[in-house]
């Protein structure tokens, strides 16, 4: 999928649907937050949420005192929704509207978090572009936490095909620069009560 049509798709989603009208809505970002803490994040750690959309993870990180948070997403409308919700606290966050496969990182991060963005990259070329940014943007010894649909998860999300993973498949996709340190499965309940199986894997940058 070309970047422009990807962006048009997501802008339409976030301008036509409310927060809890999307399958990925999560009131509490507990699984992601726990893994960020487990990866050794301190309040001074630079944390980026890739494809963060309108997720409440950023609210939680700000509330808990994390001071260097960036949220990147293709959709300006998604980030605007999160900013509105955070009100004056939004100024404590760096917001980037960009395609994760084309963005040029301006700094390095201790923690790269991605819940349900990487799995939309079904072309090898796009995955390679994402991994190049990941390698560039994560500090040596830093961590990448990537949540995707598991092998027994749905084949589509938001009407788009996804690539499903287990930790071994994801490790292969990320390449030798990242060592798997932890993986867990997570069953997500959509706002309408259906179940979606995710995997979250944590990798340490070895480069
Ligand atoms: C299923 S939603 C998940 C949103 C958020 N991570 C959460 O957990 O609520 C996928 C998000 O990834 C974003 N996205 C998809 N492809 C992207 C890309 N290539 N670069 C940046 N963001 C992307 C979409 O705009 C959308 O916000």
CA–CA gap between residue 152 and residue 100 (Å, rounded):
26
CA of 171 relative to ligand 1 center, distance in Å: 20
4 or 95, which is more confident = 95
Query: Considering the entire predicted model, what is its pTM?
Result: 0.98
CA of 135 relative to ligand 1 center, distance in Å: 19
Buried b (16+ CB within 10 A) or exposed e, 67-78: ebbbbbbbbebb
111 CB-near residues (< 8 Å, 6+ apart): 36, 39, 41, 45, 46, 47, 48, 142, 143, 144, 145
Mean pLDDT of 165-187: 98
Question: Per residue in 1-60, pLDDT tens?
Answer: 788 899 999 999 999 999 999 999 999 999 999 999 999 999 999 999 999 999 999 999
Among the atoms of ligand 1, which is closest to the Cα of residue 25?
A: 9
pLDDT of residue 186: 98
CA of 51 relative to ligand 1 center, distance in Å: 4
Question: Per residue in 103-119, pLDDT tens?
Answer: 999 999 999 999 999 99
Confidence of residue 87 (pLDDT cuts 50, 70, 90): very high
Question: Per residue in 182-204, pLDDT tens?
Answer: 999 999 999 999 999 999 999 99
CA of 108 relative to ligand 1 center, distance in Å: 20
CA of 52 relative to ligand 1 center, distance in Å: 6
Give the pocket of ligand 1 (CB within 6 Å). 6, 10, 24, 51-53, 55, 73-75, 78, 99-101, 115-117, 120, 157
pLDDT-above-70 percentage for the chain: 100
Among the atoms of ligand 1, which is closest to the Cα of residue 78?
A: 27
């Amino acid at each position: 999928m070309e970047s422009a049509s990807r962006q048009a798709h997501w802008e339409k989603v976030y301008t036509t649907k409310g927060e809890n009208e999307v399958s990925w809505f999560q009131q509490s970002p507990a699984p992601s937050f726990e893994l960020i803490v487990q990866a050794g994040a301190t309040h001074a750690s630079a944390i980026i949420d890739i494809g963060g959309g309108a997720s409440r993870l950023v609210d939680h990180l700000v509330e808990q005192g994390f001071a260097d948070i960036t949220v990147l997403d293709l959709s300006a409308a998604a980030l605007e929704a999160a900013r509105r919700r955070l009100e004056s606290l939004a100024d404590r966050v760096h917001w980037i509207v960009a395609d994760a496969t084309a963005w040029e990182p301006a700094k390095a991060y201790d923690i790269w978090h991605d819940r349900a963005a990487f799995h939309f990259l079904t072309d090898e070329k796009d995955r390679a572009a994402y991994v190049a940014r990941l390698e560039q943007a994560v500090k040596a010894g830093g961590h990448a936490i990537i949540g995707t649909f598991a092998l027994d998860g749905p084949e589509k999300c938001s009407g788009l095909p996804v690539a499903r993973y287990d930790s071994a498949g994801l490790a292969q996709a990320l390449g030798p620069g990242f060592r798997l340190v932890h993986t867990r499965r997570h069953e997500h309940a959509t706002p309408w009560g259906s179940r979606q199986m995710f995997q979250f894997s944590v990798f340490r940058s070895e480069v």
